[in-house]
Chain A
């Protein structure tokens, strides 16, 4: 955690330096190397090499809005479930760098399941089941 804050502080310091010196100051470009690697490469996600298939579930409407999931299979295994459509969350996006940094790192990781999901609605599960059925595992 300390390290994260330090790196983020460095990035901000680097940014300020770039911003202050404007284009002319050549030397300041080296400060961009303090940007954490995770922020620059968030897209190395699951992308399994062999037989990755993506199947959308049916769109299910609920009292809160429409829910639709998309399931990615590698062979017969679920490697990802994405929400294609979801009700508005209505929460702010003013996350401080600490959380944002962690999140960026996490996005690039393969996961088997998710803790803390509260997709309790019937529509979520129906859409998920539809995707499973369509795949016919």
Chain B
């Protein structure tokens, strides 16, 4: 039983690890990775690899394998969403954050798993990777934050080995922009994606939110994904396979 909370990448990241044994080295390694990602991929840090690439100081051939992978993922989701999801909006700096966060946190979870951890919940600012069960015989129970009441949840979904990501425009949250128009997406209040890994869950949640109302069917149609979406009329859309608690 290990709990750890730390502020990384501008987010509170918490780990609830239920395995017996000493995982302190693995926890240090996983959080160290997240700090490394912040230094390398933040568009807000002038000396990050992302910023240097964006300013033309690094050629495409000189990029690290990790950044290559992130940029490939950005291109993939941009294509998949018909341009609604975009890491490069007109007049703005390259911002791969929407992919980096889920990807980095999934990698951190993979590191914990490689170190032998099998029962844990890693939550980075509301994007969640779960492994195993918190107690024998029951899955992790993940509350979905109410889009309009910060202290409430509006649904509970369950997950064992998987990921849950939610994109929403909360009262002071960042706006998610529709890459097709460059304007804030307004059709939906909250998009939750439950799937196997957080890289996919987080990117799909952001892309579906950017798509607006058409994102409901779009997200539900992605293979291996279950969705819980609240539209601007406060209707709740659930995919039939969603493991609701």
Taking Cβ atoms with an 8 Å cutoff, the residues of A that contact B are 1, 4, 64, 76-78, 82-83, 86, 89-93, 95-96, 98-99, 102-103, 105-107, 109-120, 122, 124-125, 128-129, 132, 137
Q: Is B46's CB within 8 Å of the partner chain A?
A: no
Q: How far is the CA of A113 from the CA of B139 in the complex (A)?
A: 12
Residues of A within 8 A of B233 (CB): 96
Residues of B within 8 A of A98 (CB): 234-236
**Are A115 and B150 in contact, CB atoms less than 8 angstroms apart?**
no
Knowing that A83-B150, A89-B148, A116-B144 touch, tell me 6 more A-B residue pairs with CB under 8 angstroms: A102-B154, A102-B155, A111-B143, A114-B145, A115-B128, A115-B164
**Are B154 and A106 in contact, CB atoms less than 8 angstroms apart?**
yes
A76-B1, A78-B3, A114-B126 are known contacts. Are A96 and B151 too (CB-CB below 8 A)? Answer: no
**Are B154 and A103 in contact, CB atoms less than 8 angstroms apart?**
yes
Which of A82, A109, A116, A120 lies at the interface centre, i.e. has the most chain B CB atoms within 10 A of its CB? A116
**Are B12 and A99 in contact, CB atoms less than 8 angstroms apart?**
no
Question: Which residues of B from 15 to 42 have beta carbons under 8 Å from A?
Answer: 16
A122-B7, A128-B12 are known contacts. Are A1 and B236 too (CB-CB below 8 A)? Answer: yes
Tally of contact residues, B, Cβ under 8 A: 54
Q: How far is the CA of A99 from the CA of B228 in the complex (A)?
A: 12
Taking Cβ atoms with an 8 Å cutoff, the residues of B that contact A are 1, 3, 5-7, 10-12, 14, 16, 121, 123, 125-128, 134, 140-157, 164-168, 170-173, 190, 192, 230, 233-238, 245
Closest Cβ neighbor of B189 among chain A residues: A99
Q: How far is the CA of A111 from the CA of B171 in the complex (A)?
A: 23
17 contacts between A and B (CB under 8 A): A83-B150, A99-B236, A102-B155, A105-B155, A106-B144, A106-B152, A106-B155, A113-B142, A115-B143, A115-B164, A115-B165, A116-B145, A116-B166, A117-B126, A120-B10, A125-B6, A137-B3
Distance in angstroms from A109 CB to nearest chain B CB is 5
A98-B234, A112-B121 are known contacts. Are A129 and B151 too (CB-CB below 8 A)? Answer: no
**Are A115 and B172 in contact, CB atoms less than 8 angstroms apart?**
no
**Are B236 and A109 in contact, CB atoms less than 8 angstroms apart?**
no
A83-B151, A99-B154, A125-B12 are known contacts. Are A115 and B236 too (CB-CB below 8 A)? Answer: no
